Amino acid sequence: MVIFKDFLLQLTVIATLIFTFQIFFAERSERDQRVKIVLSALFGLSILLCMSYPIPITSTIHIDIRIIPLLLGTLYGGLRTGIALSVLIILYRMYLGFDLGLFTTTLTLLISMPVTIYYQKAFTAAKKMMKIRMALLLAVFYCLAGITATTALRGFSYKVVQVQLVYLVITILVVLLFTALVETIKDTIRKNRQLQLEVKDAEIAFLRCQIKPHFLYNTLNSIAALCVDEPRKAEELTLHFAQYLRNSFDFKQLRSMTTVENELELVRTYLNIEEASFGARIHVKYEVDANPSFLIPPLILQPLVENAIKHGLMPQLQGGTVIISAKQNANAAVSFAVEDDGCGMSENLQREILKPDAHAVGIGLWNINQRIGLLFGESIHIESAEGAGTKIWFNIPVRAIDQRGD
């Protein structure tokens, strides 16, 4: 009964530490060195606790299940983790005493660990069931190495062989249990992450579909009115309108990006249409020193320009100026801004404009704010005063684009 309790104690310690790692760190990149350090520390602590509270079989024979954290730590942590855990076992065994057990432990590690490390990369690339099989085979090999080392150093003994065989059965069952649980947790987390990405993509696609330029109907009416009196201008406006539509909807994938250059071309096409209707009332300035090939979400600037013209400049009889800027910042981000010298907004409207139930003036801003938040964890900023114009700006981190790999 005492042996059973000691075994459960070791099992509980290992389970607690391993699943603590899985819960708090499994979603992080496995290539992150900080994650590997935490992994090594937790598995190392498991090994120390197992070796500190061994299971007494006889007065001279004690066993523990250090193989579980050693094997899993090596397979999931890699070469450095495996070597570090092996050195830890040898050093702690030296601390416990220079006896035959130290040499048995060292010989077992020298036989088994090179094989485990050799198959570590194959284990990482394998699927769930193959990982379980490989872990079981490596555990069996470790136990056989232990039997060989014990027999070579202590001599043949039926009692020792019986203990080692019992240890082999226990090891197989525990390795099977832990590897299956770890892989199940990783699969669940992976599927959950994929589901989150799909939900995010669907929401981004939905938000993008909401960007339906409000000037479409006005443009068609303008073309119809010009057809009789100014057919050439109507033809020119129709071509600009067709170009705008082609650029607006030329995005094939949900998570596709466009370049700064393409987005500005879309803005220019839109402005050509507006200038055909409003003429000299609209003035536009561009302040662009960002890389024209830098990737940004499509339809992210044009709605801001449309809002600036429709709600900032058009209420003024004299119209006004829109400044469109894209500048590389020192903090590894590109800052985009659309500024007008129009009628501006009150503080109350600025507070309400980013709410999802805002009036038409805020639909485009809320939409863009949501997309930037979903994609990059950023938000748009509004600077405005009544009668003094409005500036709307946001940052897109360069690293965020690189990590997305779009």
- The pLDDT of 144-156, averaged and rounded, is 83
Higher pLDDT, 61 or 145: 145
Quick one: which of 16, 21, 22, 8 has its CA closest to 184?
22
| Reported confidence tier of residue 1, pLDDT bands at 50, 70, 90 | very low
What pLDDT shows up at residue 200?
62
- Strands 282-288, 320-328: pairing is parallel
Are 231 and 270 contained in the same domain? yes
Quick one: which of 211, 215, 210 has its CA closest to 311?
215
Are 248 and 227 contained in the same domain? yes
Are 218 and 360 contained in the same domain? yes
Residues 6+ apart with CB under 8 A from 223: 234, 237, 238, 241
What pLDDT shows up at residue 273?
76
What pLDDT shows up at residue 110?
93
3-class secondary structure, 256: coil
Q: Is the sign of the CA dihedral 287, 260, 193, 254 positive or negative?
A: positive
| Reported confidence tier of residue 339, pLDDT bands at 50, 70, 90 | very high
Higher pLDDT, 34 or 113: 113
Please report whether residue 309 resides in a domain.
Answer: yes
What pLDDT shows up at residue 58?
64
Q: What is the CATH number of the domain that holds 355?
A: 3.30.565.10
Q: Judge whether residue 252 has pLDDT over 60.
A: no
Q: Among 201, 223, 252, where does a domain finish?
A: 201
Residue 112, CA distances (Å) to 181, 196, 350 in order? 24, 41, 67
Look up the domain containing 67 and give its range. 2-201
Q: Among 178, 201, 224, where does a domain finish?
A: 201
What pLDDT shows up at residue 12?
74
Are 177 and 255 contained in the same domain? no
Are 116 and 76 contained in the same domain? yes
What pLDDT shows up at residue 316?
87
Quick one: which of 145, 134, 144 has its CA closest to 110?
145
pLDDT tens per residue across span 175-230: 888 888 888 877 877 777 776 666 666 665 655 555 555 556 667 777 887 788 77
Question: Ramachandran region of residue 244, left (φ > 0), alpha (ψ -120 to 50) or beta?
Answer: alpha
Residue 93, CA distances (Å) to 74, 115, 209 in order? 19, 22, 65
Whole-angstrom distance, CA of residue 101 vs CA of residue 95: 12
What pLDDT shows up at residue 27?
54
Are 197 and 232 contained in the same domain? no
Of 64-78, 86-100, 202-216, minimum mean pLDDT range: 202-216
Are 249 and 350 contained in the same domain? yes
Q: Judge whether residue 127 has pLDDT over 80.
A: yes
3-class secondary structure, 339: strand
Domain count for the chain, please give it.
2
Are 261 and 177 contained in the same domain? no
pLDDT cut 90: percent of the chain above it: 17
Please report whether residue 206 resides in a domain.
Answer: no
- The pLDDT of 30-42, averaged and rounded, is 73
Are 271 and 319 contained in the same domain? yes
Of 147-151, 158-162, 263-267, 315-319, minimum mean pLDDT range: 158-162
Higher pLDDT, 383 or 374: 383
Asked whether the beta carbons of 269 and 247 are under 8 A apart, the reply is: yes
Are 37 and 132 contained in the same domain? yes
| CA-based end-to-end distance of the chain | 59
Whole-angstrom distance, CA of residue 160 vs CA of residue 151: 8
pLDDT tens per residue across span 105-125: 899 999 999 999 999 999 988
What pLDDT shows up at residue 102?
87
What pLDDT shows up at residue 402?
46
- The pLDDT of 367-373, averaged and rounded, is 83
Are 192 and 215 contained in the same domain? no
Q: How many residues does the chain have?
A: 406
Indicate the average pLDDT of the chain.
79
Q: Give one DSSP letter per residue of 58-97, joined into a string.
A: SSS-EE--THHHHHHHHHHH-HHHHHHHHHHHHHHHHHH-
pTM, two decimal places: 0.54
Please report whether residue 359 resides in a domain.
Answer: yes
Q: Among 180, 201, 222, where does a domain finish?
A: 201
Please report whether residue 163 resides in a domain.
Answer: yes
What pLDDT shows up at residue 405?
43
Q: Judge whether residue 258 has pLDDT over 70.
A: yes
What pLDDT shows up at residue 151?
84
Q: Judge whether residue 404 has pLDDT over 50.
A: no
Asked whether the beta carbons of 316 and 343 are under 8 A apart, the reply is: yes
Whole-angstrom distance, CA of residue 350 vs CA of residue 143: 69
Q: Beta-carbon neighbour count of residue 372 at 10 Å?
A: 20
Please report whether residue 302 resides in a domain.
Answer: yes
Are 28 and 176 contained in the same domain? yes
Whole-angstrom distance, CA of residue 339 vs CA of residue 253: 30
Quick one: which of 1, 46, 57, 4 has its CA closest to 21?
46
